[in-house]
Amino acid sequence: MHMHSNFPSQPDSGWYHDRRYRVFKQAKAEIGHLLGYFEPRHSHNGHMMQTEAGKEVINFSGYDYLSLTRHPDVQQAALDAVARFGSSAGASRLVSGETPLHQALEQRIADFLGVERALTFVSGHGANVTTIGFLFGKSDLILHDAYIHNSVLEGIKLSGAERRSFNHNDVQDLEEKLKQARPFKHVLVVVEGVYSMDGDAPDLRAIVALKAKYDFVLMVDEAHSLGTIGETGRGIAEMYRVPPEAIDIWMGTLSKSLVSCGGYVAGHRDLIDFLQYNCPGFVFSTGLPPANAAAALAALDIIDRAPSLVEELQDKSRHFLMQAQAAGLNTGTAGGTPVFPIYLDQQAAILACSALRESGVNAFPIIYPAVSKNAARIRFFLNRAHSYAQIDTTIQLLADFLSSVTEPDLAA
């Protein structure tokens, strides 16, 4: 077969050499070697982790909050699913990709949350993008917390709806925006159960109360709140004792407390039925791999029968916060969740994380452009299996490092 010879030997890469690319290249050259991004690990992503160099480190960068990744029930469920159904769903669930595991998981999620139905997606990020993009359009308004996740913002872009943000966790500002929300066909308000960069939660009860005054659809992203808050881990509705049906769209992920991969949307049976047959990111995608469905289902069963796991995580979360604040570290608005930001200037955050890694602690800086230049932080995800001693040691290491450096050191 004759191969065409008029193709360039190297693809023309100039099309993406815009300002964003130049900023990225400069930042990577200056600080990339300090960050440790994309470094392979050689163990499971639990409270401890083995680095590429074979070093065991205390790990605060994974979100296996309840330490279930290696639970024997979860592992066996995944193995059994592969043995019976294979490694892939093999097709869209609309045709031959459906298994009893998908149906059992979705019913289990719905029952656990206290709503009628749920639908699982192969990606948590994709679940937000495709659900918002499908349900809302150019004649609609979407109001979101200023700190909302990227997946929501991408979904809003896809929808073409008008987008307005309200100040973080500021119900009064939300109400002011709602007063100005006419005339639109539909108004959607989106918040998170626990904010993944800040470790705080919205006043869900106050937001739900606004629904009596203003006609809007309420969506809550529970990626980081399912399994972590509420007396039995049922999330922010349980924490605030709000009826689950008061929220129109529940969204969550399978990758945090449920130690799998994927996402879900839950709510009224009519909404889920509509999405199941029409939402592009579901209909035109291969179904969730059977092993992922089985692992999430097993994890949910464990959480349901052992709420003490949630209680233990919450106790350690309170301990981390108390110790960090006692050490003079700036935790911002974090409180009672397993997500902890320690706010520093960008240079200090980078250097501190590098020093922590040298001392056997794995945590990552969150820096510009992920957050604004004046909001850099080190983010810690707490795992139920972390010991109190590991928490105390980590906080002391960080506090000691920060007290040992001077402003000129950080500016160098």
- Prior bond to 289 cis, omega within 30? no
Place of tokens 């810690």: 380
If residue 263 lies in a helix (H) or strand (E), which one and from where to where? strand 263-267
What is the bridge-based pairing of β-strands 141-145 and 162-166?
A: parallel
172 Cβ contact list (under 8 Å, min separation 6): none
Instruction: Say which of 125, 144, 149, 224 is annotated catalytic.
Output: 224
Residue 92 has what DSSP assignment? Answer: B
- Collapsing DSSP to helix, strand or coil, 187 comes out as strand
Does residue 258 contact residue 299 with C-beta atoms inside 8 Å? yes
Q: Give the tokens for residue 335.
A: 């409180």
256 is known as an active-site residue: yes
H/E segment holding residue 321:
helix 308-326
Sequence length of the chain is: 412
Options 71, 256, 316, 386, the catalytic residue:
256
Residue 23 neighbours by CB under 8 Å, 6+ apart:
369
- The two beta strands, 249-253 and 263-267, are antiparallel
Dist CA 45 CA 60 (whole Å): 9
Q: Which of 67, 151, 196, 317 is catalytic?
A: 196
DSSP sequence for 18-68: SHHHHHHHHHHHHHHHHH-TT--BSS-SSSEEEBTTS-EEEE-S---TTS-
Our answer to whether residue 196 is catalytic in this structure is: yes
Three-state secondary structure call for residue 93: coil
3-state secondary structure 6-32: CCCCCCCCHHHCCHHHHHHHHHHHHHH
Active site residue 92: no
Using DSSP, state whether 313 is helix, strand or coil: helix
Give CA–CA dist 286/294, Å, rounded. 16
Give, as one character, the DSSP assignment of residue 271: H
Q: Which active-site residues does the annotation give?
A: 196, 224, 256
